[in-house]
Amino acid sequence: MPRASWNGFLRLSLVTCPVYLVPATTEAKRVRFNQLNAETGNRVAQQLVDSKTGDPVDRDQIVKGYEYERGRYVTITDDELKDLQIESSKIIDLDRFVERDEVDPIYLDSPYYVHPDGEIAAETFRVIGEAMAKTNKVGLGHVTLSSRERLVLVEPRDGGLVMSTVRSADEVRPPEFGANPKGESDPDMVAIAETIIERRAAKFDPGTFRDRYQDALRELVDAKTKGLERAPREVGEPPKVINLMDALKRSLAQEAGAEPKQAAASKPARSKSAPDRGRPQEEGNSDGRDGGCTGAKGPEKGELTLDRSAFSQPRAGRKIPLEIPGFTRVSGRKSRVRA
């Protein structure tokens, strides 16, 4: 376990327990570079010098100073800083409790695991955590870290507590997205985009993410240590979208083509003798679904109707003009569109 970055007390009204904080995130696995002399291959060292005389200065001669006028400083010693204590230097006082959803994620900064410091503290620590979990509340308090008092949010998680520092209001910039396009969005375009999003719905699993840039850096370092040459990687720019509706339709067709392959890989084969819910199998997908689109006789030739009943949020059918590439209509009273 990493060493504690802060030791003190967690307080709820008159109840306190000793705790310590451990950073919840790490960058230990990142590829890091050293600065070298290009001619000798040796690492370079930084040397502190007097800005006026140019003479080297040893680290034990360095003190902290605050410039209160141009070129004039007041010095502050380490002992003076150590004696500068406020309550949050040692106590995280949970003085307010709010709903977790009330806190905009943009305000959350660095997370820390909160640990009870000793067996005696464990019971108090558990009681505070269980009380917050049962009331569905998170606690707000203050703590002094790195010479700065921070607002913090403390919440229960997996039988323990997690504390996140909270940015102040003046640290968060207001959004400046510019003016929205005039008029309303095309409902047909929005309907197709919704279908694509629904087909790509998944569970959040951070374990599936890999930093591909860091992987590429490691491959480069490995190749260089073995004396191998690596061809430069080039990533082309995506083509410009000239016709948004056309691009959405082609995207929908691509998603529909990928869906049966995923289903075949994850879904076990059904017995041939199994009845199909008491009715004949219709043309289309083997599970009776039509991928979200059905042909319908619209007011104009060549129109398609989006069957919202095939998705998680049923809605009234919407007409999508023109054909979707990769699909053909099948005749019938309520024909299915198939790839």
Structural domain boundaries in the chain: 6-29+84-170, 186-198+242-263+287-339
* Of 217, 123, 114, nearest in space to 161 by CA: 114
pLDDT at 23 over 70: yes
- Please list, residue by residue across 36-63, b when 16 or more beta carbons sit within 10 angstroms of its beta carbon and e when fewer do: eeeeeeeeeeeeeeeeeeeeeeeeeeee
CB 284 within 8 A of CB 213: no
Q: What is the pLDDT of residues 265-316, one digit of tens each?
A: 555 555 444 444 444 444 444 444 444 444 444 444 444 444 444 444 444 4
Q: Please identify, in words, the CATH class of the domain defined by 6-29+84-170.
A: mainly beta
Angstrom distance (rounded) from CA 28 to CA 51: 35
Alpha-helix runs per DSSP H in 3-95 = 78-83
Q: What is the mean pLDDT of residues 319-336?
A: 46
Mean per-residue pLDDT of the chain: 80
- The enclosing H or E element of 150 equals strand 148-157
pTM, 2 dp = 0.66
Q: What is the pLDDT of residues 66-106, one digit of tens each?
A: 999 999 999 999 889 888 889 999 999 999 999 999 999 99
Q: Please, which residues bridge with residue 64 across strands?
A: 76
Positive or negative, the CA dihedral 311, 312, 317, 318 is negative
Q: What is the CA radius of gyration of the chain?
A: 31
- Please list, residue by residue across 292-309, b when 16 or more beta carbons sit within 10 angstroms of its beta carbon and e when fewer do: bbbbbeeeeeeebbbbbe
Alpha-helix runs per DSSP H in 136-281 = 187-199, 212-225, 244-266
CB 332 within 8 A of CB 285: no
